[in-house]
A and B are shown apart, each in its own frame.
Chain A
Amino acid sequence: MADLLTTPLDALSRALGGRMVDFAGYALPVQFAPGVLKEHLHTRAAASLFDVSHMGQAILRGRAVAERLEALVPTDIVGLAEGRQRYGLFTSEAGGILDDLMVANRGEDHFVVVNAARKAHDFALLSRAFGADFTPVTDRALIALQGPMAEAALGALVPVAAGLRFMEVTIADWRGATLWISRSGYSGEDGYEISVPAARAEDFARALLANPAVLPAGLGARDSLRLEAGLCLYGHDIDETTTPAEAALGWAIQRVRRTGGPRAGGFPGAARILPELDAGPARLRVGLAPDGRAPVREGATLFAAAEGGQAVGHVTSGGFAPSLDAPVAMGYVPAALAAPGTPVWAEVRGRRLPCTVRPLPFRPSTYKR
């Protein structure tokens, strides 16, 4: 792990007993002593602190930022009100997904957060489009505080945070450190993502962890939480070969950018993406519940029958859902097999295990809207 990048919370994660692994070139804790299962359940019951500083943070400013960003994403950025954040997608000319991201309108600028594994790609894209109006943020950590007690924990340090609603953002002071706070996350829980100056990140994380309701959690729990919440992991559930309609991410393309809307198209791949949203895709990302107890994992081939027939799709994420005490998975199936209740079979260790198509999320999200 000698060549790995480290985050501003590296020393803290190690001091807290984090088991460090290589994730997208960064040393990050996959779990702490309690383990993935307990960290997952604690997040849903109380609150967990995740180091997500590996993600790419950047600022876009200058003239007509929203219009220029809309040339790269099918998201309604022009209509994104000041103080609000929105989930978006970078799309390719072929209609695939280059990455998913969060965009916040902070009035004087727009703040974006992208995946670590796509940071170099996305920053190159933004740099070409925005030139000097694009500034990567390299001196800040990013902390996710997720769970029903996140509001009380952060609110005790930064009272203004308690008043935010889901996908609202604000800038606030904590003992001289300027925090960029959004009420969001990727666990299906209420919570926050907080960008904090690197030099103050450990102090701030320790202040949150001083609250007995808040425990550190690792990438393992982050993954099982987002899977239960039906959220996509880039490079697994979505990539350049999947379109927004196929990925069931049509909700992230607002009406104004769609066929017949006042700003229809104007983003890469619109010629494929918009007709496909109108007509419906040939294949679709769905939730899958294995009928038995055996987890069905990424890569498992899907079939329409218990025996015979061709493969109809594959699993893109799968594992055990601690909050449901059952295995769950997501994968792509032909549209004809995408209705909830449809039986499909996943091949695991040479056997076809029966599964049932389920609506996503597997567990209702508890965002504070």
Chain B
Amino acid sequence: MKYTEEHEWLRLEGDIVVVGITEHAASQLGDVVFVELPEAETMVARGDEVVVIESVKAASDILAPLDGEIVEVNEALVKTPALVNEDPTGAGWFFKIRIEDAGALDEYMDEDEYNEFIG
């Protein structure tokens, strides 16, 4: 698992990267009540705002961590946004992105570095 400074986790599965937000981020956001997902089969560039999350407190964006194609989104979040809080690193994933070069993940933090980052 890799982590971004935007508190996303990235899990590489072949040439697909699954993206969600960390438990730390979910706890800081508070109860998520609305999630707006991108369309599947869209090309995105790193830094694009691809997901909007609304918690009871505020709205925030999730940025595409990598260049690639969104191949699948977690439709379950539309009906049950609370999955983001209940299981942020599992059932609360946001989207899957197909990337050309797995090496693009290298620059992101590993778990120890992330824990230090939020520490």
A residues touching B (Cβ–Cβ < 8 Å)? 30-31, 35-38, 40, 220, 224, 293-295, 297, 319-320, 322, 327, 349
Complex contacts, B52 vs chain A, CB 8 Å: 294, 349
- Check B33–A295 contact: CB distance below 8 A: yes
A274 CA to B30 CA in the complex, in Å? 44
The one of A35, A37, A295 in contact with B59, judged by C-beta atoms closer than 8 angstroms, is A295
Residue total for B at the interface (Cβ-Cβ under 8 A)? 13
The one of B33, B36, B78 in contact with A320, judged by C-beta atoms closer than 8 angstroms, is B33
Complex contacts, A31 vs chain B, CB 8 Å: 30
Give the nearest-CB partner of A36 in chain B: B56
The one of B34, B56, B78, B85 in contact with A322, judged by C-beta atoms closer than 8 angstroms, is B56
The one of B36, B56, B78 in contact with A224, judged by C-beta atoms closer than 8 angstroms, is B56
Minimum-distance CB pairs A-B, first 10: A37-B31, A320-B33, A36-B56, A295-B54, A293-B34, A320-B56, A35-B30, A294-B34, A35-B31, A37-B56
Contact with A along B2-41 (1 / 0, CB 8 A): 0000000000000000000000000000110110100000
**What's the nearest-Cβ distance from chain B to residue A314, in Å?**
17
Contacts A36-B57, A37-B31, A295-B54 supplied; 5 other A-B pairs, CB < 8 Å: A35-B56, A220-B56, A293-B78, A297-B59, A322-B56
- Check A36–B30 contact: CB distance below 8 A: yes
A297 CA to B60 CA in the complex, in Å? 13
A320 CA to B82 CA in the complex, in Å? 13
**What's the nearest-Cβ distance from chain B to residue A322, in Å?**
7
- Check B34–A320 contact: CB distance below 8 A: yes
Give the nearest-CB partner of A349 in chain B: B52
Complex contacts, B56 vs chain A, CB 8 Å: 35-37, 40, 220, 224, 319-320, 322
Complex contacts, A35 vs chain B, CB 8 Å: 30-31, 56, 85
A89 CA to B31 CA in the complex, in Å? 34
How would you classify the secondary structure of chain A's contact residues: helix, strand, loop or mixed?
Answer: mixed
Complex contacts, A40 vs chain B, CB 8 Å: 56
A36 CA to B31 CA in the complex, in Å? 7
B residues touching A (Cβ–Cβ < 8 Å)? 30-31, 33-34, 36, 52, 54, 56-59, 78, 85
- Check B36–A294 contact: CB distance below 8 A: yes
Give the nearest-CB partner of A293 in chain B: B34
- Check B57–A220 contact: CB distance below 8 A: yes
**What's the nearest-Cβ distance from chain A to residue B3, in Å?**
23
Complex contacts, B33 vs chain A, CB 8 Å: 37, 293, 295, 320, 327
A35 CA to B56 CA in the complex, in Å? 9
- Check B34–A295 contact: CB distance below 8 A: yes
Between A and B, 14 residue pairs with Cβ closer than 8 Å are: A30-B57, A35-B30, A35-B31, A36-B56, A38-B31, A220-B57, A293-B78, A294-B36, A294-B54, A295-B54, A297-B59, A320-B34, A320-B54, A349-B52
**What's the nearest-Cβ distance from chain A to residue B57, in Å?**
6
A293 CA to B82 CA in the complex, in Å? 13
Give the nearest-CB partner of B58 in chain A: A297
- Check A37–B30 contact: CB distance below 8 A: yes
Complex contacts, B54 vs chain A, CB 8 Å: 294-295, 320
**What's the nearest-Cβ distance from chain A to residue B82, in Å?**
9
A201 CA to B33 CA in the complex, in Å? 35
Complex contacts, B85 vs chain A, CB 8 Å: 35
**What's the nearest-Cβ distance from chain A to residue B78, in Å?**
8
